[in-house]
Structure 1
């Protein structure tokens, strides 16, 4: 997906309104600048004073659109350091919150607070991570990919011991 500064400010304004808060235009502008600079380093910034560790994640890319405006592309790369172990932890947590033992690939990629939406992953990236989980933690998850369905099955009995803290909590994990 993509957004520009104007869209970001409008989204912040909607969030504030939904919380019954009125924010000045200057505050919204300032907060959007802080957000953008937290995740995207200015090319002209040669010193470390403007560096933020979040910039190394590469969660979005700044590009110039055909009309000359600056836009930000989101979700083009899987976050660095997202290992099969971390993905499995988030996947088990999501299955528990859904109280399910099988979910569609679409739910895992696009569902609210799903691993795909949290880590900004597309179908291909989620498929690759599930493949990594299958190799590293044989049998815990299985990816069923047929002509009419793409389903992920979770076998809780084969989950690693470190995942026990997620088992059986259901909606208690929802924030």
Structure 2
């Protein structure tokens, strides 16, 4: 297991130990667009309102709010307000791509938001980027994460970290005891098959082609990784190597647990789905993607999302 830098901004709590459930992001969006709360969705999650609105306890209300913010379904705004985020509008708006989260692309997108961007989900980022063993146990992950947090100057209790790691893996692997048998309580990310459970406390990554991952979502993640890499490096490079795409921390190959052959297969399709704006080349031992924008990057991202959803 690799020890190394952790993101500058970290968060290890907020979910109240509840994994992200199937219907929660939709419910958060509906609450934020309710006529009573549309000017400030933060009010919908006040305990006296949220308990009535969602029909759950106050801790679960807080968890719904947390997950919606972590996935950019909701966003924090000036003046301490909360409003609908860009992902919320794209998925659930008047021309939403998947209003009821029925398509595999949505679960893969949420996974990328948590483990690729990792803005309120440090443990998700750590697990899918820094844990390199095929099989791992949660205690070892907690220990490595605690060491990295300490090295980064972040004070966090071991109990908080252990709970966060447990919630993270339970987002991908449903409980064996059947306590979450209700479809609505099933973790949203369980169907991705990225983790399987072994003996007590151990889990295994499932690497491979990830057949349900749409090419458009892979390409979107590639663009976002490229942008993030440029912000860190301060470079404006127009090419990105195969090795970076497949293996670097935060890269789609690593976050989606794709093997090298599967990454290569995805890259071959880039030129077609991006209408020539992303091009894969493999010649003279140089394997790389080149970028030639014909439209604004955000417009290309929307194009790739529509492709991912078959629009």
Please tell me whether the aligned partners of residues 215 and 269 of structure 2 are also in contact (alpha carbons under 8 angstroms).
Answer: yes
Please tell me whether the aligned partners of residues 105 and 150 of structure 1 are also in contact (alpha carbons under 8 angstroms).
Answer: yes
Residue segments in structure 2 that go unaligned for 5+ positions in a row: 1-132, 231-235, 303-311
Question: Are positions 1:62 and 2:194 aligned together?
Answer: no
C-alpha displacement of 1:10: 0.8
Indicate the residue corresponding to 2:7 in structure 1: none
Aligned CA distance change for structure 1 residues 5 and 148 (closer, same or farther; 3 Å): same
Aligned residues: 160
C-alpha displacement of 1:147: 5.2
Query: Whole-Å Cα distance in 1 between the matches of residues 160 and 301 of structure 2?
Result: 43
Please tell me whether the aligned partners of residues 107 and 114 of structure 1 are also in contact (alpha carbons under 8 angstroms).
Answer: yes
Which SS does the other structure have where 2:257 is aligned?
coil
C-alpha displacement of 1:35: 2.0
Which SS does the other structure have where 1:42 is aligned?
coil
C-alpha displacement of 1:106: 0.2
Indicate the residue corresponding to 1:5 in structure 2: 138
Aligned CA distance change for structure 1 residues 102 and 22 (closer, same or farther; 3 Å): closer
Structural mapping, 1:63-82, within 5 Å: 63=198, 71-78=202-209, 81-82=212-213
Residue segments in structure 1 that go unaligned for 5+ positions in a row: 166-175
Q: Normalized per residue, which structure has more strand?
A: 1
Please tell me whether the aligned partners of residues 101 and 153 of structure 1 are also in contact (alpha carbons under 8 angstroms).
Answer: yes
Which SS does the other structure have where 1:90 is aligned?
helix
C-alpha displacement of 1:159: 7.8
C-alpha displacement of 1:113: 2.3
Query: Whole-Å Cα distance in 1 between the matches of residues 266 and 290 of structure 2?
Result: 14
- Spell out, residue by residue over 1:117-169, the C-alpha distance to the aligned partner (whole angstroms, 9 max, x if none): 3333332222122223233334222222235222222222378872279xxxx
TM-score by length of 2: 0.43
C-alpha displacement of 1:75: 4.9
Which SS does the other structure have where 2:174 is aligned?
coil
Query: Whole-Å Cα distance in 2 between the matches of residues 16 and 103 of structure 1?
Result: 30
Structural mapping, 1:135-174, within 5 Å: 135-146=272-283, 148-157=285-294, 162-163=299-300
C-alpha displacement of 1:32: 2.6
Aligned CA distance change for structure 1 residues 53 and 164 (closer, same or farther; 3 Å): closer
Moved segments of 4+, more than 6 Å: 158-161
Q: Which residue among 13, 23, 40 is the counterpart of 2:157? A: 23
Query: Whole-Å Cα distance in 1 between the matches of residues 227 and 142 of structure 2?
Result: 34
